[in-house]
Structure 1
């Protein structure tokens, strides 16, 4: 009895795989399209393809042309520092959007512009942010400063 159950399971798996085979091969090109498939791939930026950078410090750093030095390795975030000829900047990634939002709420005390993506933030001089946005996607956000001002208020 055990042998026939095993045999039936194998036959069912084989039948399932054979049923999916035409679907998998139907996606492949043939004939005239083969020459195009063998030609050089077209380079497309992440933003042109509608893709945002993944939430990993090292990957984002590589996309911006730096090798980040990890400064913070915590459960809620990872932060890497980049030092380049163009300027210094920080890349912070988060395991969930909730942590990113908490970080942004806290950073809003200080104000400034940040490049914000899915589970990541880049803190850089404003002149670098637009270039990074073209490479990484995301949006440049202006955070209002709500902390103490440099000059005393006239009250």
Structure 2
């Protein structure tokens, strides 16, 4: 059942359109080192509902598994997914699997935001912190290489 949830989540990556954040310094009581965004210390690590609230939405939880939780946010501007992980290793595994699809992702400490409109990720980054990561995907490169 858990594997199906992870695979289902990865299938959504292709439809919805993030980078390794720093370590979790909040466990020691210090502020997050992800970025200087005001909400970053609150977000790392956080629940789907907390991240969604910071971006102005109430999420619909789509996946609830031991390895991840995922919520869908639907707004007038953009639809996006927020995925949280109980451990950093699950986030890294998710990103490795998502690399097949390519795309841009906003990644923080144990969370990822993916959007149908990747340009919205910068707007979210100013609220959440994190880093925007471009994953290459597989298949031919649309740009000719100069050899």
Asked if TM exceeds 0.5, the reply is: yes
Q: TM-score range by the shorter chain?
A: 0.5 to 0.7
Structure 1: gaps of 5 or more residues: 1-45
Structure 2: gaps of 5 or more residues: 1-35, 143-147
Number of aligned positions between the proteins: 105
Q: What TM-score comes out, normalization by structure 1 length?
A: 0.63
Once the two structures are superposed, residues 47-75 of structure 1 have per-residue CA deviations (whole angstroms, 9 ceiling, x without a partner) of 14762613210000000000000000000
Aligned position for 1:127: 119
Aligned position for 2:3: none
Structure 1 pair 102–83 and aligned structure 2 pair: CA distance change class (3 A): same
Higher relative contact order (CA 8 A, sep 6+): 2
The structure carrying a bigger helix percent of its residues is: 1
Are 1:64 and 2:37 matched, yes or no?
no
- Structural RMSD (CA): 2.0
Are 1:137 and 2:137 matched, yes or no?
no
4+ residue stretches of structure 1 with deviation over 4 A?
A: 148-151
Instruction: Compute the displacement of 1:120 (Å).
Output: 0.1
Are 1:103 and 2:94 matched, yes or no?
yes
User: 2-side partners of 1:143 and 1:52: how far apart?
Assistant: 26
- Say if 1:52 and 1:138, in contact at 8 Å, map to a contact too: no
Greater Rg by CA:
1
Once the two structures are superposed, residues 24-67 of structure 1 have per-residue CA deviations (whole angstroms, 9 ceiling, x without a partner) of xxxxxxxxxxxxxxxxxxxxxx7147626132100000000000
Q: What TM-score comes out, normalization by structure 2 length?
A: 0.66
